[in-house]
Amino acid sequence: MERVPILKIGTTLFVSIQIDLQDESVVRLQEDLADELSLTGARGVIIDITAVEIVDSFIGRMLATIGSISRLFDAETVLVGMRPAVAITLTELGLSLRGVRTALNAEKGLALLNGSA
């Protein structure tokens, strides 16, 4: 099973999704992220989905779940690098990801977290 690495940069955890997500790897990622958050006390999570070309309701729900988990640890989630086609698909699916903040790229995502901290 492929694992998604979680990188710690200062008080931010950086997750870049570059594999085709399967159920198991998603569950694993959520567990790993919860562990990391409790261990490091990070205040922000950046999820980079630049490499994700296809989304469905499953991935949409995963993103929302990660947002909820992070909030329990008082960390803010920022979703970065979404492609236009993906944004249109998510909107058509009726998933507007209300609990998650979004930014165009990783740089802006970091600025968003640092600005609000």
Partner 1 sequence: MDVDSSQRRMAAYMRDHQDKVVSRWSELVAAGLRGRSSAAEVRRELDDLYALLLRAMSGTDEPAIGELRAALAELSGSRARNGFTPVETALGVFALKDAVYELVADTAELVPEYLAFSRMVDDLGLHTFETYAAAREQIIADQADAMLELSTPVIKLWEGVIAVPLVGTLDSARTQLVMERLLETLVATGAEHAVLDITGVPTVDTEVAQHLLKTVSAARLLGTECIVSGIRPQVAQTIVSLGIEFGDIATKATLADALAHALNRSGQRIEMQRPQQPGRG
Find residue 15's DSSP bridge partners.
6, 47
Q: How far is the CB of 35 from partner 1 (least distance, A)?
A: 28
Q: How far is the CB of 77 from partner 1 (least distance, A)?
A: 12
Which CB sits closer to partner 1, 36 or 76?
76
Residues contributing to the site for partner 1 (CB under 8 A): 78-80, 82-84, 86-88, 90-92, 96-97, 101-105, 108-109, 112
Which CB sits closer to partner 1, 23 or 115?
115
Q: How far apart are CA 39 and CA 70, in angstroms?
A: 13
Which CB sits closer to partner 1, 34 or 97?
97
Phi, psi angles (nearest 5°) of residue 35: -60, -50
Half-sphere exposure (CA, 13 Å, Cβ side) for 85? 7
